[in-house]
Structure 1
Amino acid sequence: MSNDVSYTPEEVANILRISKFTVYELIKRGELTAYHIGRKVRVEGADIESYKRKSKGLSPLESLIASPLDILAPNERSKHCFESDESLVICGQDIVLDILTRHLEKQFPQVHFLRRYIGSIDGLMALYRGMANVVTAHLWDSDTNEYNTPFVRRLLPGHPTCIINLVYRMEGFYVAKGNLKNITTWSDLTKPDVRFVNRERGSGARVLLDEQLRISEINHKDILGYREEEMTHLAIASKVARGEADVGLGIEKVAMQFINLDFIPLHKERYDLVIRQEDLERPHFQALMSILQSPSFRNEVLGIGGYDISQMGQIIAKT
């Protein structure tokens, strides 16, 4: 690879042996420098080498999941997250969190807001370990038919938390336009001619799927593609849109971005913020609560479509 040559995201993906969508996430997060020529994105060879050096031996996937805090010793992580007013770590993958972070940055330009694009269970574990300040969850508990609270109680024992609603979202199947294979129920995933693409373990979508399979007494071994995983709703939808899979599970908002996809609604989910109760009185978190109630933020979320904000900012539970 020449440092004097620029590469497309697809070429960068081949060089780093990661997906094209991981490349875009790295660019979005500022971990991989890129520039635009019109609508085209290009990455210099020197910037690819710089990214590889900064990764310090991590695999590309580990580098995507890790934040700069992950290379600190546990006692340093806790100090960095909770004693310093210079940085706050926000975990979750939904675009609404990017909007929320931008609003916080306007109010606290001196604070470094770090975004970690990880799933629900990993986010709760990061909060438990002192590696995050605000995390999101959409974990359905089939025993209680409740979202998030049972998982928070199990995964953060002895740590009082506050669960605050961000939005409600519709979870369902992504299928090709016209749904020619008539995929409408969980049992349809076992059809011999249906290729499924799954989310990674620990994500809310994966928990929903596995719980529904258990309740319906469906063996995951009967699902073609169950072990094939992608890290985001966008990657799942794109794979179905390209014809590389027949069906995947994700949120309605993402499906709206593809003209050749249909969306089969299955389950309305509650997407919540989880923070420590002890942090609730801190200025940054008081500002977060104010933003959730502000017309400007709520109108911005409404404007992008696909979300129910009827309970946004409401405290769902304290554990």
Structure 2
Amino acid sequence: METGRGSVTRTYLTTAEVADYLRLKERKVYDLVRQGAMPCVRVTGKLLFPRQSIDLWLMNHLEGDRASSRPVPVVLAGSQDPLLEWAVRESGAGLALLCHGSGDGVRRLLAGEAMVAGLHLLDAHGGGYNRPEALGLSGMRDLVMVRWAMRRQGLLLAPDNPLGITALEDLAGETVRLAHRQPDAGAQRLLTWLLARAGIEASRLRFTAHPSLNEDDLALAVRQGEADAGLGVEAAARRQGLAFVPLHEEAFDLALRRRSYFEPPIQRLFAFAREARFAERAEALGGYDIGELGRVIYNA
């Protein structure tokens, strides 16, 4: 992570600098800010312009492909995330939540059925998370991916962990019922990878009859005694009062079209995420690292 005065200069532009960069008069910059048409932040009353956001804004206004400018539903699809769902409600972003897994989010984004998709899909072959080429998103010429958070994934267990489960190997016991997700969910893909890395064959495990369609459903299955364990995020375990065994840290990112990044619902969400109470909530939920929140990790 960059530190020092030089990194601030590279990361943020002043009003005069952004006017020079865009070949605009400063008065025009102020007009665009007042209209909510240009991304900026206020620090002690002074306007600063994130360089990455300004570059996205500029590219968006240079786009020649109008096929991608068709209106899309103001919907957040993809994977469920407790911090993200809370932020959507508290920010008044106006995004409808339709969270049925990362794979579903990819499909809805490609079909124009969602404005933004939350993803945490591990590329078991190439390594890393949410790689567009591995997700089938590399054909989107205006795709942008923005970091939301790093999250701790692990085993969600009944309160007080009555079976004494401390590692993946303990799931192979004949009496352990394992809750699971649909095949294209990020958590299920991660579970498959973790089992393979540990040399545990899935055939040795006793899965519940039906998959849980989101994080809450899986946590409830464990809480209500329908399963003894399941893979999920620490925040979901805390919310249901479950025991938790950490196994892995993952990236949770937001995928959207470039023009959608500047729509009011998305800008309201990210503006809210810069407030102190957002950081306090992330700490209270547990298992989050929001140090890179808002960083553009892919720009087609």
Same fold judged by TM-score > 0.5? yes
Taking a change above 3 Å as real, the CA distance of residues 128 and 297 of structure 1, as seen in their structure-2 partners, is: same
Task: Identify the residue that residue 46 of structure 2 maps to in structure 1.
Answer: none
Measured in 2, the distance between the counterparts of 1:181 and 1:204 equals: 26
Considering Cα pairs closer than 8 Å and 6+ residues apart, tell me whether 1 or 2 has the greater RCO.
2
Which of 105, 111, 114 is 1:123 aligned to? 105
Distance of aligned partners of 1:279 and 1:178 in 2 relative to their CA distance in 1, 3 Å threshold: closer
Amino acid corresponding to residue 102 of structure 1 in structure 2: R
1:293 aligns with 2:279: no
Distance 1:178 1:84, change over 3 A: closer
Deviates more, 1:114-123 or 1:210-219: 210-219
What's 1:99 paired with?
A: 86
Question: Per the alignment, do residues 228 and 145 of structure 1 end up closer, same or farther by CA in structure 2, a change over 3 Å counting?
Answer: same
Query: Which stretch of structure 1 is more off in the superposition, 205-214 or 96-105?
Result: 96-105
Question: Which piece of structure 1 moves more, 221-230 or 244-253?
Answer: 221-230
What are the equivalent positions in structure 2 for 1:1-319 lying under 5 Å apart? 83-84=70-71, 87-91=73-77, 92-102=79-89, 105=92, 113-150=95-132, 153-159=134-140, 160-225=142-207, 227-259=209-241, 261-319=242-300
Change (3 A) 1:136 1:190: same
User: Deviation digits for residues 133-179 of structure 1, max 9, x if unmatched?
Assistant: 111001112334311125x5542131032111112221111123343
The Cα of 1:207 is off from its aligned counterpart by: 0.7
Rounded to whole Å, the distance in 1 between the matches of 2:277 and 2:164 is 41
Cα RMSD (Å): 2.8
What secondary structure, in the 3-state scheme, does the structure 1 residue paired with 2:153 have? Answer: strand
Given the two structures, how large is their TM-score scaled by the length of structure 2?
0.67
Contact 1:198 1:227 in 2 (8 A): no
Aligned residues: 233
- Over alpha carbons, which structure has the higher Rg? 2
CA distance in 1, matches of 2:87, 2:226: 34
Deviation at residue 229 of structure 1 after TM alignment: 1.4
- Residues 171-202 of structure 1: CA distance to partner in whole angstroms, max 9, x if unpaired? 11112334343323323222222111111222
Percent identity for Structure 1 against Structure 2: 30
Structure 1: which 5+ runs fail to align? 1-77, 107-111
